[in-house]
């Protein structure tokens, strides 16, 4: 891995950064790199510098950049038909949803575009299920969520966030949510009441800093939900589709949620595709006119989703993530660094926690960028490593040389 970076050109990189600063809303704080090309696990900036992508667009590029099968499926479909809306059927959505339901083990799926849309779909689904199936009084349904959750950016979702910045200035918020500490099964038990219809949870909290709950937490939560007639809703938008070393992160504890939410890697880094997946007991509460999306289930997205799913399964990316992730975390833990408080994660979803006495994680990410590695800080103190699942051990070995130099 080259560690010599070409100096940014004032006439190109600076101009592009200035344009973004001038014409876009200031709702992100990206690293000062302008990318123009990607292939597999590698990306190149406008100066020709090559970087190892260790973020995978927040796990949306599990298959690697521009995977040939996903690109071929997109090109073929773009030459045929791209959008029908749901006013008409198309020949791609049904086969795609069948493949998705077969892989996940559920009866039906409702296709959307972004992860947040799929979360909103699941919220509507379990609320209506609570009223029509459980008999909860109208308007009284309650969903339990966890502190430090990240399920998206809609006003309903940020309304039940515990992160002050996500909420500030965006109220009033949707009622009907109860916050409890993450990973605390006793808190979940105490929070369940007669009007509780769902428990919405991430099997690993990604944006919170790659927080892994105690062993058995998801299994115990599933059992509690079953005992109390509460729908377990697993948000696997980041953790699913091979990222944590299993097809779904819930598979680590043999948990089958009532509602499964997927997105990000379902689009193969090419097109936004998401879905809420459930059995008929939950899905059948929707009737024509209850919910919809102009682009959800469109033929281009369905073709891309099918190809993305096949790559994950055919290339056994879950196994690769498990094996490489365990090895990579062991190597990270072996680095003698005065700055690192710990390493945590599962599969290739890994967080390196920077001690507060060493400052925030941002300077470490900037130093990694200068050495040809793109990673991003999360929750101030954590450097997140989540390369495409197609990465090789040799490529990670090269990366470790640079990572160790920065962390030491």
DSSP state of 361: S
Q: What are phi and psi of 13, to 5 degrees?
A: -55, -50
On whether the CB atoms of residues 101 and 111 are closer than 8 A, the answer is no
**Is 264 among the residues known to form the active site?**
yes
Active-site pick, 45, 53, 148, 235: 235
CA dihedral of 217, 220, 224, 225, whole degrees rounded to 10: 70
Residue with tokens 């667009």: 57
On whether the CB atoms of residues 139 and 175 are closer than 8 A, the answer is no
User: Which ranges of 37-178 does DSSP label H, i.e. alpha helix?
Assistant: 56-59, 68-78, 93-104, 115-129, 155-159, 164-167
Active-site pick, 96, 128, 148, 150: 150
Per-position b or e across 181-206, b if 16+ CB within 10 A of its CB: ebbbbeebeebbeeebbbbbbbbbbb
Max Cα–Cα distance, the chain, nearest Å: 65
Per-position b or e across 346-367, b if 16+ CB within 10 A of its CB: bbbbbbbbbeeebeebbebbee
d(CA 394, CA 285): 50
Active-site pick, 45, 148, 220, 264: 264
d(CA 273, CA 265): 8
Instruction: Return the closest-CA partner of residue 385 out of 358, 355, 345.
Output: 345
Look up residue 332 and give its two tokens: 């990270």
On whether the CB atoms of residues 126 and 198 are closer than 8 A, the answer is yes
On whether the CB atoms of residues 143 and 200 are closer than 8 A, the answer is yes
What does DSSP say about strands 50-53 and 373-374: parallel, antiparallel, or unpaired? parallel
Residue with tokens 């001038």: 22
| Angle, vertex CA 306, rays to CA 375 and CA 79, nearest 5 | 100
**Is 235 among the residues known to form the active site?**
yes
- Positions marked catalytic: 150, 235, 264
């Amino acid at each position: 891995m080259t560690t010599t970076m070409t100096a940014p050109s004032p006439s190109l990189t600076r101009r592009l950064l200035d344009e973004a600063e001038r014409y876009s809303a200031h709702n992100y704080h990206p690293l000062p790199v302008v990318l123009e090309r990607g292939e597999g696990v590698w990306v190149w900036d406008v100066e020709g510098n090559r970087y190892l992508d260790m973020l995978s667009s927040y796990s949306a590029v599990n298959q690697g950049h521009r995977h040939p099968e996903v690109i071929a499926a997109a090109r073929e479909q773009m030459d045929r038909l791209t959008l029908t809306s749901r006013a008409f059927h198309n020949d791609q959505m049904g086969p795609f949803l069948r493949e998705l339901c077969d892989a996940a083990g559920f009866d039906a799926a409702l296709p959307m575009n972004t992860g947040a849309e799929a979360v909103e779909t699941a919220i509507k689904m379990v609320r209506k299920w609570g009223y029509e199936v459980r008999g909860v009084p109208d308007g009284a349904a309650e969903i339990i969520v966890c502190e430090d959750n990240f399920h998206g950016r809609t006003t309903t979702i940020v309304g039940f966030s515990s992160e002050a910045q996500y909420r500030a200035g965006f109220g009033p918020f949707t009622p009907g949510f109860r916050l409890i500490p993450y990973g605390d099964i006793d808190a979940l038990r105490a929070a369940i009441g007669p009007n509780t219809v769902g428990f919405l949870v991430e099997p690993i909290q990604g944006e919170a800093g790659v927080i892994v709950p105690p062993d058995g937490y998801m299994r115990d939560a599933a059992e509690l939900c079953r005992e109390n007639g509460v729908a377990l809703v697993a948000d696997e938008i980041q953790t699913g589709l091979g990222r944590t070393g299993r097809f779904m992160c819930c598979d680590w504890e043999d948990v089958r949620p009532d509602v499964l939410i997927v997105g990000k890697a379902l689009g193969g880094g090419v097109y936004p595709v998401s879905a809420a997946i459930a059995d008929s007991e939950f899905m059948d509460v929707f009737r024509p006119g209850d919910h919809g999306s102009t682009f959800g289930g469109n033929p281009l997205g369905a073709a891309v989703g099918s190809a993305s799913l096949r790559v994950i399964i055919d290339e056994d990316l879950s196994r690769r993530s498990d094996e490489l992730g365990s090895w990579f975390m062991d190597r990270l833990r072996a680095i003698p660094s005065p700055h690192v408080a710990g390493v945590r994660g599962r599969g290739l979803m890994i967080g390196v926690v920077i001690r507060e006495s060493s400052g925030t994680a941002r300077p470490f990410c900037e130093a990694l960028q200068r050495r040809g590695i793109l990673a991003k800080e999360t929750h101030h103190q954590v450097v997140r490593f989540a390369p495409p699942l197609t990465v090789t051990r040799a490529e990670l070995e090269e990366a470790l040389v640079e990572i160790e130099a920065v962390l030491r």
